[in-house]
Amino acid sequence: MSNVVVVGSQWGDEGKGKIVDWLSEKADVIVRFQGGHNAGHTLVIDGTTFKLHALPSGIVRSGKTSVIGNGVVLDPWHLLKEIEGIRKLGIHVSPTNLLIAENAPLILGLHKNLDLARENNAGKARIGTTGRGIGPAYEDKVARRAIRVGDLLEPDIIPDRVDKLLMHHNSLLRGMKLEEIKPKPLVNQLLEVAPKISPFVTSAWKALYDLRKSGKKILFEGAQGTMLDIDHGTYPFVTSSNVVSAQALIGSGQGPKAIDYVLGITKAYTTRVGSGPFPTELLDNDGSKIAEIGNEFGTTTGRPRRCGWFDAPLVRKAIQINGINGIALTKLDVLDEFSYLKICTGYRYNGSALDYFPSSLKAQEEIEPILETINGWKKNTRGARSLNDLPAAAINYIRLLEELLDTPITILSTSPKREDTILIHDPFKD
């Protein structure tokens, strides 16, 4: 029996949604363990496109249990809107197939407003957040003043929780010369949404333990990418949570024995949304070409993604931090039209060579990529479902990446469609 954690190995947008959906056919339970609705997963199933932000990707498959873990920060109003939208597309969502951890913190309107106010006042120092309130919600969690999902089940305590929360937030608002928040409207909003959310709420850690004990296969679904991790990413241009594989345990209330295999989702080139270092970024026609062919626009924000060549040392760091067993390589077909490709094999910094991605922001901003040029294949790989369908030069590219990463590529994705996937090794049969 194998439980699998899926993580992004770059700056997010690696195609986790499709791979999680594809793997969820083999899983019984799909768990979101961190982040919020700032992350978007796009699924294309039988010609229908699903854009999920708060719901686990497994929700689109019947007979599966989807869990929103305690490591997630949850906007209940957005979740209800997302549930309503997906029901209109014919997907069943009820407390029988969606569970929400009672100890997950809530994202409130005041978090979103604070997020946007900070970004607007930051000028050139903007982080590039989605403005969804994720960071401020995590701040309240760590400061022990958050209102949590389980609080909605006890209406009598909500006014006191709101008062304690507003003691902090109104002090911030006064300092920023913004209008303070009155408690009563917020209390009323929470009391109104409570009965709509409460049927889904449970002790998710216990439910997952019982499901594991009964022999169910669990797929832990990460959001964002390793280089956006609050500890290991390009700090401060990162998200506000840990996104690495170890968070799958903390963010769902499980122990180390719950993980059997870690799959790193990796794009065949590199992209990034928002501000921050990007050593292999292309500001030329090649970068524009990748963006156009790859339709590189954020699922959540619609912002254009910055594009660049594959960065092997960066992905190697993600592999080592996450304990990645195998790579799912996505969007190989985007490179079909290039007569040549470049791969970053290391960096130059202060006159010396580096074979790893550094943690210092100064070093991250100043390193220069060492690029190796190889031949492209100039043949169509889109929709390929077997290694035999790939040109020799594409196979060479894959093998070179495996050598540089010292990790096998176990899954290949050749289009957004679920069926256009090449399975080399099944993570659930490791």
Please, what sign has the CA dihedral across residues 337, 356, 39, 424?
positive
Kind and range of the H or E run holding 221: strand 218-221
Q: Which residue has the tokens 């399975």?
A: 423
Rounded Cα distance, 361 and 234, in Å: 7
Task: Write out the catalytic residue numbers.
Answer: 13, 41
CA dist 207 → 2, 210, 366 (Å): 18, 5, 48
Please, which residues bridge with residue 414 across strands? none
What backbone torsions phi and psi does residue 424 show, to the nearest 5 degrees? -100, -40
Rounded Cα distance, 7 and 23, in Å: 13
**Residue 351: HSE in the Cβ half-sphere, 13 Å Cα cutoff:** 0
Terminal alpha carbon distance of the chain: 9
- On the question of a cis peptide bond just before residue 236, with omega within 30 degrees of 0, the verdict is yes
Q: From the CB of residue 36, how many other CB atoms can be counted at a distance below 10 Å?
A: 29
CA trace torsion 170, 176, 178, 184 (10° rounding): -10
Chain-centroid distance, C-alpha 321: 16
